[in-house]
Amino acid sequence: MIAAMRLLTFQHMPCVAHVLQRTITVCLADSGFTGTLARCRKIEGHFKHSPSNTEELHKEQTELEQDKEPLIQDVSTRWNSTLFMISRLLKNQEAVKATLAKQKHNLTMLTTAEWDRLQRLETLLKPCRYVTELLGGETYVSCSVVLPALRHLTRIMEVSDDDPAYVVRFKAAFKKDLSQRQDALNHGWLRVATALDPRFKCLPRGERGGVWTSVEALLQKEPDRATPEPTEEPARKRSFLLFNSDSESEDEEGPNRALGRYRAEPTISETDCPLQWWSTHEGTHPQLSDLARKYLGSPATSVPCERLFSLAGNIVQKKRAALSSENVNRLVCLSNWLKEKQNK
């Protein structure tokens, strides 16, 4: 199948979320957190495999005026589960200590230094979870966010003077592994998508010229459309983007008139929808709007497709193999509607 897809004219877009999660897995396996995480899993298993132990934990949580909630076990194939395990354990630290102090067990308790390690690891993994969930969305544009998001993670993983040796080792391994895996991404597509997103539009200085040249070449391949005179719009205050960029001002006029008009447009808020912006400004930028829909409509990850396949797999089973395609579609749409209603 892979060989067949390579023969087609479609461009391959690797799943960025898988790339990021693989980097996290590799770094956790080769860092100073391995022993601490192993003890966390044993503590979690102590409560998970015994209803009586769990009930005692709930009593301690009630006495401490905390919510009754079980501990979470991480799973190697479940994204961000290590972070969820750590966060839940840190949240219930006092309840866990009090419960284990009253029980007979062979567990090795976490030391003060190890609790501190968990705090630091939680701080390191939270931005990774945010980026994974951001890129895995299906109701908004995500392709153009990939490069700013990865630059954001790279800046977060910069070593500081206050970092202990095991954090320095984790950050160095993370940056090295992620950099190597980024080579497999479709950077040409991602750069054009970022340039055509009016929320970002600004690019790193070293990439800017090549990207705008690529966009200009793509414009020349687009069929000509009548271009009305641009209308005057009130100036907007340039918003501070969540993902910082090292670009300079983009006010200079490009060689291509259509491209120059777009580059002169002010950026929009990161909370605004770029597709809605292009729909509103289609008359001003007719050629670019077609190009933008093509590039911004590409998902950054395979997560939306996997969600759909998982949902369909729960509906079409051996006992329900006789379902017609129309009924399958109805059930999938109904399940999606119920899921969205629950999330609201």
* Residues 295 and 329 both lie in one domain: no
* Residues 193 and 95 both lie in one domain: no
User: In 3D, which of 47, 102, 46 has the Cα closest to residue 70?
Assistant: 47
- Is the residue at 18 inside a domain? yes
* Mean pLDDT computed over every residue of the chain: 84
The residue whose two tokens read 């497999």 is 184
8 Å CB contact between 118 and 92 = no
- Is the residue at 263 inside a domain? no
* Residues 194 and 161 both lie in one domain: no
User: In 3D, which of 69, 56, 73, 174 has the Cα closest to residue 125?
Assistant: 174
| Global confidence as pTM | 0.78
Mean pLDDT of 281-288: 89
The Cβ of residue 321 has, within 10 Å, a number of other Cβ atoms equal to 7
Alpha-carbon distances, residue 264 vs 115, 274, 311 (angstroms): 51, 16, 44
8 Å CB contact between 86 and 118 = yes
Residues 15-69 have pLDDT tens digits of 999 999 999 999 988 878 989 999 999 999 999 999 999 999 999 999 999 999 9
* Residues 294 and 327 both lie in one domain: no
* Residues 202 and 76 both lie in one domain: no
Task: Give 2's pLDDT tier (boundaries 50, 70, 90).
Answer: low
Mean pLDDT of 205-217: 85
* Residues 15 and 160 both lie in one domain: yes
Of 144-153, 166-175, 208-217, give the lowest mean pLDDT range. Answer: 208-217
